[in-house]
């Protein structure tokens, strides 16, 4: 698989160390790797204006100037596909990752045994992104990427499919569509399916999605959705 990655870290030794791990992982798995190093968020974003085709970003959270979190927020404004891996020395930054749908956090010092499984998961997500469904709407048939669906709401005999690009309405049962989805989707309520990657907050009564939508949570499944989210992360 051809992949384009970036490592953004103000520590040169850390950049080189991560580069060695990623390069060895790429060779072992026969991926064609294009990897670029950046010393700051601003230097990356300068290039990103011209090159928006990165697949995976490894970002140091604590950097002079803009942080890795701030960099990720800029990227997420227009790119939901890129896989974000944060490198940090502090656990308290973990909650910030929900806002940008981070793939994973790794605590320094990072070793290959911890990073390579995360890279494997990133590949899985990128591959899943290629999966899509075909739905019929009043405007004709529409092909939707599963990775772009935030949540799905059943309304009588119709489904309202909320995506990062807008809302689509189709005549279909929730159960029938659920059969076509993958394990990134969870049935939060008899009338709602949610994409685990877009969950921002879970309470015992509802789920808040990254677009601000609040989806009701059926009684008694709080622990199930929490476990599913932990497994997904």
Give me the domains of the chain, ranges plus CATH numbers.
Answer: 2-129 (3.40.50.2300), 132-232 (2.40.50.1020)
* Contacts of residue 164, Cβ cutoff 8 Å, sequence gap at least 6: 80, 148, 150, 211
Q: Average pLDDT of the chain? A: 90
Report the alpha-carbon distance of residue 144 to residue 17 in Å, rounded: 39
Band the pLDDT of 135: cuts 50, 70, 90: very high
* Mean pLDDT, residues 201-220: 95
Is pLDDT at 193 greater than 90 in this prediction?
yes
- Strands 56-60 and 2-8 turn out to be parallel
Count of other CB atoms within 10 angstroms of residue 124: 11
Strands, sheet with 2-8, edge to edge from the N-terminal-most edge strand: 32-38, 2-8, 56-60, 83-88, 104-107
* Mean pLDDT, residues 54-77: 91
Please report the pLDDT score of residue 1 as a whole number.
83
Report the alpha-carbon distance of residue 85 to residue 75 in Å, rounded: 13
If DSSP codes are grouped into helix, strand and coil, which group holds residue 174?
helix
Task: Express each pLDDT in 18-41 by its tens digit.
Answer: 999 999 999 999 999 999 999 999
Confirm if 54 and 48 have CB atoms less than 8 A apart. yes
Task: Express each pLDDT in 142-190 by its tens digit.
Answer: 988 888 899 999 999 999 999 988 999 999 999 999 988 888 899 999 9
* Mean pLDDT, residues 61-82: 88
Please report the pLDDT score of residue 92 as a whole number.
56
Report the alpha-carbon distance of residue 213 to residue 187 in Å, rounded: 16
* Mean pLDDT, residues 31-52: 94
Report the alpha-carbon distance of residue 195 to residue 191 in Å, rounded: 14
* Mean pLDDT, residues 90-105: 64
**Residue 213 in tokens:** 């939508």
Please report the pLDDT score of residue 76 as a whole number.
87
What 153-162 contacts at long range (C-beta under 8 Å, 24+ apart), as own/partner pairs, is 153/191, 153/192, 153/215, 154/190, 154/191, 154/192, 155/191, 161/135, 162/211, 162/213
Q: What percent of the chain has pLDDT over 70?
A: 94
Report the alpha-carbon distance of residue 82 to residue 72 in Å, rounded: 10
Rg, the chain, Cα only: 19
Band the pLDDT of 94: cuts 50, 70, 90: very low
**Residue 56 in tokens:** 């995976």
Higher pLDDT, 93 or 167: 167
* Mean pLDDT, residues 115-123: 93
Band the pLDDT of 104: cuts 50, 70, 90: confident
Report the alpha-carbon distance of residue 40 to residue 153 in Å, rounded: 41
Report the alpha-carbon distance of residue 30 to residue 33 in Å, rounded: 9
């Amino acid at each position: 698989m051809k992949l384009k990655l970036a490592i953004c870290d103000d520590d040169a030794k850390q950049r080189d160390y991560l580069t060695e791990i990623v390069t060895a992982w790429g060779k072992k798995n026969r991926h064609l790797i294009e990897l670029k190093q950046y010393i700051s968020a601003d230097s990356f974003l300068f290039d990103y204006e011209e090159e928006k085709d990165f697949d995976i970003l490894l970002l140091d959270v604590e950097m002079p100037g803009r942080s890795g979190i701030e960099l990720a927020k800029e990227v997420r404004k227009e790119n939901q596909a890129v896989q974000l891996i944060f490198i940090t020395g502090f656990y308290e930054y973990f909650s910030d990752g929900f806002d940008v749908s981070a793939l994973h956090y790794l605590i320094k010092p990072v070793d290959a045994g911890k990073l390579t499984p995360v890279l494997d998961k990133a590949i899985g997500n990128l591959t899943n992104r290629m999966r899509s469904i075909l739905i019929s709407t009043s405007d004709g048939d529409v092909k939707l990427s599963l990775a772009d669906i935030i949540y799905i709401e059943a309304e009588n005999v119709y489904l309202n499919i909320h995506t990062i690009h807008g809302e689509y309405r189709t005549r279909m049962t929730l159960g029938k569509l659920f059969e076509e989805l993958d394990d990134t989707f969870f049935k939060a309520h008899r009338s709602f399916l949610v994409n685990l990657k877009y969950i921002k907050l879970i309470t015992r009564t509802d789920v808040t999605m990254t677009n601000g939508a609040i989806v009701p949570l059926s009684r008694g499944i709080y622990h199930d959705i929490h476990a599913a989210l932990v497994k997904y992360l």
